[in-house]
Chains A and B, each alone.
Chain A
Amino acid sequence: MSNTRLPGWLSASREFLIPLLALLVLMAVWEASARLFAIPEYLLPSPSRIVEDMAAMGGQQLGEHMVATLRTVLFGFFLSIAVSFPLAVLISSSRLAADAIYPLLVLTQSVPKVAIAPILVVMLGPNEMPRVIVTFLVAFFPLVIAMTTGLLAVPSELIELARSCRASKLQELFRVRLPFSIPFIFSGLKSAIALSVVGAVVGEFVAAERGLGYLITSATAFFKVPVAFGAMLVLALLGIVLFQLIVVAERVFFPWAAAEERR
């Protein structure tokens, strides 16, 4: 199998190298124009200034902010998975459940999450919980939709095959429907992890004493724009790394699913 996987890894590194190159060029242009046109640093700090100020803040402090945000992202993300899976199974298993649950799901999505966050802080106290819940609320919807779509996309022949082998409902779910929906689930997971980062930052904007979102609000409050920019870049990096982890996990554990998606 290794010889068939190798081109996959090669193309993965190409997928990685070209965007990196583009990013470096962008940075160079940014740095040059910031110096050339003498743009004030509270409007657009140069990359070198951002790095300088972030370094001045110290690695340990930055690490603490990063870990705080990462915790919220991951808790929210895993909570999304834990809630989405049973919901998707329920929705896909009966028309009645689908009719009952879908409107509620749409309702949770039509309420702006920034509006819910302060209410959650009052309800749950100024701790990590409201941030995790906000992250979950932002991230879980596409996951439920993707999982449900996957569970319902199973061709009727496969279901007939399972039934002709006298498979129970549970076997049908775990041996046919669930494996079949893995490519769908992974596309849902990719949206969910990206949205988890968004959700965590929204949560931190409203109530936090640590985290990259908090760092942005507190830095801008004191016109430390380079630090805010730095925090933003670290957030972007965090998002990319988490997203790529999911892509890699799919290719390693479910190579057939990754192939199916690229088809």
Chain B
Amino acid sequence: MIDIKQVGQVFGAVGNGGVRALQGIDLTVKDREIVTLVGPSGCGKSTLLRLVSGLVAPTEGSIFIRDERVTGPRQDTGIVFQAPTLLPWATIVENVMFPSTIMGRADEAARRRAKDLLKVAGIADFAEHRPRQLSGGMQQRAAICRALVHDPDILLMDEPFGALDALTREIMTIELLRIWSNTPKTILFVTHSIPEAVILADRVVVMSPRPGRIAEIIDVDLPRPRDFSLSGHPEFQRCTGRIRDLIFGEQGARFDVEH
């Protein structure tokens, strides 16, 4: 579904004060697979997501979706940012319909689909409210509905629950899995929470910083449907332990080198 081939990204001039964000990234995401990207800040995980979304073009290598090279934003991807980024003047249902509006398909069918999504997300009662009347968690639910409204095959999520409190965050993670089991999509999910990365993923891509590259890809062999009661499961323990080793082991090593 998504093929990332030898992708590198340098901000600024190469070798001349430029900052290398990514180096030699090779990753293939299969259809309807959930892949989470986890790593310390500065490892380029959000940059990688932006490259896949087509918002930014890679300086090295290339990305293919369904064997087509990504050259700009595509109709078959939906994106969710860390902030809900809802339009403050529009109602929730209008916000959810925003992609359809831009694509010139804001018809009755789109409205119905938006309302259905709001129902699935549990915020149907707030369809005619403005964003400021909703809590952060509800706003982010609306943002996820917005990413799904044009029925994309691929959902790109950039720390979507990063701004939420810990409790809401767990609830939202399980909600996302529920929505995914209803309408399976290919999901590329960036997070800095290790348990969140494991509970969601078929595979966890652990990245290391400066320059951002893939340290290891971990297969998560947990049964679905999942929830956080699985956090006592030995497989969960194995995965989170391994990720912790990769991230903190390396930072410890860097610490030794630098001092």
Q: Does the CB pair B83–A164 fall under 8 Å?
A: no
Q: Does the CB pair B75–A256 fall under 8 Å?
A: no
B13 interface hit (Cβ, 8 Å): no
Q: Does the CB pair B85–A175 fall under 8 Å?
A: no
Q: Does the CB pair B103–A175 fall under 8 Å?
A: no
Q: Could you tell me the distance between the alpha carbons of A259 and B129 in the complex, rounded to whole angstroms?
A: 14
Q: Does the CB pair A164–B89 fall under 8 Å?
A: no
Q: Does the CB pair B88–A256 fall under 8 Å?
A: yes
Q: Which of A27-35, A44-52, A152-160, A244-252 contacts B (4 or more CB under 8 A)?
A: A152-160
Instruction: For B88, list chain A residues within 8 Å (CB).
Output: 180, 256, 260
B111 interface hit (Cβ, 8 Å): no
Q: Does the CB pair B87–A166 fall under 8 Å?
A: no
Given A176-B87, A256-B89, the answer on whether A166 and B103 have CB atoms closer than 8 Å is: yes
Q: Could you tell me the distance between the alpha carbons of A257 and B90 in the complex, rounded to whole angstroms?
A: 11
Interface string of B57-83 (1 = CB under 8 A from A): 000000000000000111101010101
Given A179-B89, A256-B89, the answer on whether A162 and B81 have CB atoms closer than 8 Å is: no
Q: How far is the CB of A228 from chain B (nearest CB, A)?
A: 46
Q: How far is the CB of B153 from chain A (nearest CB, A)?
A: 15
Q: Does the CB pair A166–B130 fall under 8 Å?
A: no
Q: How far is the CB of B78 from chain A (nearest CB, A)?
A: 8
Q: Could you tell me the distance between the alpha carbons of A171 and B85 in the complex, rounded to whole angstroms?
A: 17
Q: How far is the CB of B88 from chain A (nearest CB, A)?
A: 6
Q: How far is the CB of A111 from chain B (nearest CB, A)?
A: 38
Q: How far is the CB of B86 from chain A (nearest CB, A)?
A: 9
Q: How far is the CB of A171 from chain B (nearest CB, A)?
A: 6
Instruction: For A166, list chain B residues within 8 Å (CB).
Output: 72-75, 102-103
Given A157-B81, A160-B81, A256-B130, the answer on whether A167 and B102 have CB atoms closer than 8 Å is: yes
Q: Does the CB pair B102–A171 fall under 8 Å?
A: yes
Determine chain A's interface SS by DSSP, over half rule: helix
Instruction: For B87, list chain A residues within 8 Å (CB).
Output: 158, 176, 179-180
Instruction: For A257, list chain B residues within 8 Å (CB).
Output: 89
Q: Does the CB pair B102–A165 fall under 8 Å?
A: yes
Q: Does the CB pair B89–A160 fall under 8 Å?
A: no
- Give the number of residue pairs across the A-B interface with Cβ within 8 Å: 56
Instruction: For B90, list chain A residues within 8 Å (CB).
Output: 179
Q: Could you tell me the distance between the alpha carbons of A109 and B103 in the complex, rounded to whole angstroms?
A: 43
Q: Could you tell me the distance between the alpha carbons of A167 and B88 in the complex, rounded to whole angstroms?
A: 18
Given A175-B102, A176-B87, A259-B132, the answer on whether A164 and B53 have CB atoms closer than 8 Å is: yes
Given A176-B87, A179-B89, A254-B89, the answer on whether A161 and B81 have CB atoms closer than 8 Å is: yes
Instruction: For A167, list chain B residues within 8 Å (CB).
Output: 102
B99 interface hit (Cβ, 8 Å): yes
Chain A residues in contact with chain B, CB under 8 A? 155, 157-158, 160-167, 171, 175-176, 179-180, 182, 254, 256-257, 259-260
The 3 A-B residue pairs with the shortest CB-CB distance in the complex, in nearest-first order: A157-B85, A165-B102, A165-B99
Q: What are some 30 contacts across the A-B interface (CB < 8 A)?
A: A155-B85, A157-B83, A160-B55, A160-B79, A160-B81, A161-B79, A161-B98, A162-B102, A163-B73, A164-B53, A164-B55, A164-B73, A164-B77, A165-B99, A165-B103, A166-B72, A166-B74, A166-B75, A167-B102, A175-B101, A175-B102, A179-B89, A179-B90, A180-B88, A182-B89, A254-B89, A256-B89, A256-B132, A257-B89, A260-B88
